[in-house]
Amino acid sequence: MKILAVVPNLDLCDGVVTCMMNYYYALENLAQMDFAVIHDRPSPVRDELIAKGTKIFNVPSLLDPHAKEKCRTFLKAEHYDVIHDNTLVRSLPLMEAAKACNVPVRVIHSHNTRFSESKSRAALTKTLLPRLKSCANRYFACSQVAGEFLFKGAAFTVIPNIVDTQFTFNEHKRRAMRKQLGILNETLIISVGRMTRQKNPLKALEIVSLYVRFHPDTLYLWIGDDQDDLELRKQFDEKVKALDLENNVRFYGVSHHMNELYNAADLLLMPSLFEGLPVVLVEAQATGLPCVVADTITKEANYSGHIRYLPLASPSQWVVAMEEACNENRYDGQSLFKQSVFSPEGAGKRLIEAYLK
């Protein structure tokens, strides 16, 4: 089977990309997966794929008058059995070309419960979505709520966001990473993800500020890319100063050593406005890391029973939950992970079965 996975880019800071890369590894001995990207930019993942001979196609812009023709030419040359779209309307020229070329399986995969934090982008998605849906003959979703949001009563298949089994707790890795960060007994709280309005970083600072009042020996790290919204990053830095958190908050940036950072941390904080099913939560639980998250996030992610869900309107409740979580002993997340649907065991075969259903 020959598959073309459509993703925003090839940077593991994006949860959708992480999801599809994990399926890429799960399928290595079962099928060929190439990638079509909306933004083709340098990354270690891109280098790895090219070294393995994986093809990478740059999806032309919606504004390109020859976009569909370029996509049709590529598809006719490659003869894919499956087009698996994870980007929604930005892939429209490719999906229309796939239908015109009679690609047998054409998938739309829902990864969220809202179109966008940007009103203009959300409006564009709503406008073009009927055209995109008309191109597909399979509907997938990362969670039940993500599928119900996008497909509005139509049948869909839940495809879990699998993660690599490397995510496990190790006391030596914990000590080593904490030493690298320059901390000993401090409480380490982390948030992981692209700095976007969806991830709610300014609310995270408000919650951390309240927590620091009672626990001044606390370090908070934001781990992830900050290039999507430079104005938001500026507001984040300004708020750190306004709340007098310069000694407690660091922007860590992109990391390719997340297992070590989960090990070093005492708590994962996620006050997102909306999510589909965050890969980060699956990874964190595999390392036994307690998670305090917004009640906007689906409970389908909670395979360990160690996630606390809180309303965004009540920061004081967050502080209490964070205190309780940070006082817990590390649990055996790896055993619970291996028993969950998020384990890669058998995931490649299940995905192929979903394509052929």
Residues 46 and 181 in one domain: no
- The whole-number pLDDT of residue 357 equals 86
Q: Measured between alpha carbons, how far is 249 from 271 in angstroms, rounded to an integer? A: 16
| Residue range 267-287, pLDDT digits in tens | 999 999 999 999 999 999 999
Share of the chain above pLDDT 90, in %: 89
pLDDT over 80 (residue 12): no
Tokens, residue 264: 């070093």
Alpha helices, H only, the chain: 15-26, 44-51, 67-78, 92-100, 119-135, 144-151, 171-181, 201-214, 230-242, 258-264, 279-286, 315-326, 333-338, 347-356
Q: Measured between alpha carbons, how far is 97 from 94 in angstroms, rounded to an integer? A: 5
- The whole-number pLDDT of residue 120 equals 85
- The whole-number pLDDT of residue 115 equals 87
pLDDT over 90 (residue 258): yes
C-alpha count within 13 angstroms, C-beta hemisphere, residue 153: 0
Domain that holds residue 75: 2-162+343-356
- Please state the length of the chain: 357
Task: Taking residues 47-59, report their average pLDDT.
Answer: 96
Residues 6 and 146 in one domain: yes
Q: In the sheet where 56-58 sits, what is the strand order? A: 56-58, 32-37, 2-7, 82-85, 105-110, 138-141, 157-158
Residues 23 and 96 in one domain: yes
Residues 128 and 219 in one domain: no
Residues 198 and 306 in one domain: yes
| Residue range 164-179, pLDDT digits in tens | 888 999 999 999 999 9
The domain total for the chain is 2
- Strand 157-158 relative to strand 138-141: parallel, antiparallel, unpaired? parallel
Residues 247 and 325 in one domain: yes
pTM for this one? 0.88
Q: Measured between alpha carbons, how far is 333 from 339 in angstroms, rounded to an integer? A: 10
DSSP 137-178: SEEEESSHHHHHHHHTTS--EE------TT----HHHHHHHH
Residues 178 and 303 in one domain: yes
- The whole-number pLDDT of residue 227 equals 84
pLDDT over 90 (residue 208): yes
Residues 132 and 187 in one domain: no
Residues 231 and 352 in one domain: no
CATH code of residue 46? 3.40.50.2000
Task: Taking residues 245-271, report their average pLDDT.
Answer: 96
Residues 45 and 97 in one domain: yes
Q: Measured between alpha carbons, how far is 65 from 279 in angstroms, rounded to an integer? A: 36
Q: Measured between alpha carbons, how far is 83 from 137 in angstroms, rounded to an integer? A: 10
Contact (CB, 8 A) for 146 and 110? yes
Residues 153 and 186 in one domain: no
| Residue range 289-334, pLDDT digits in tens | 999 999 999 999 999 999 999 999 999 999 999 999 999 999 999 9
Residues 302 and 351 in one domain: no
The model's confidence at residue 14, banded by pLDDT at 50, 70 and 90, is confident
